[in-house]
Amino acid sequence: MARRASDEELLADALHARIEQWLELEGIFTILGFGDVELASEMDWEPGAGPVYLRRLDDGRVWRADIAVTARPAAPGEAGAR
């Protein structure tokens, strides 16, 4: 029988998928103080983390942003958690 993913894994994977979907759908977007950027390559993330390559349009330079997505239950008092 396959192991059920933990709640932490399920949440992190869902957030990862949403970030990936947003970046792919966004096309060109502006980062204030940095400039207009677009994805420079297909996203090929490992579960929960991976690099995102963005091309700055004004100079064509490609930047790597390492993004990790983790999840855990909030501690009492964080954002109204009990």
12-66 residue pLDDT tens: 888 888 888 888 888 999 999 999 999 888 777 666 677 888 999 999 999 998 8
pLDDT at 65: 87
CB-CB contact of 60 with 73 (8 Å): no
| More confidently predicted of 80 and 72 | 72
Structural domain boundaries in the chain? 7-71
pLDDT at 2: 65
- 66 in helix, strand or coil? strand
pLDDT at 12: 83
Residues in the chain: 82
pLDDT tens-digit map of 64-73? 988 888 888 8
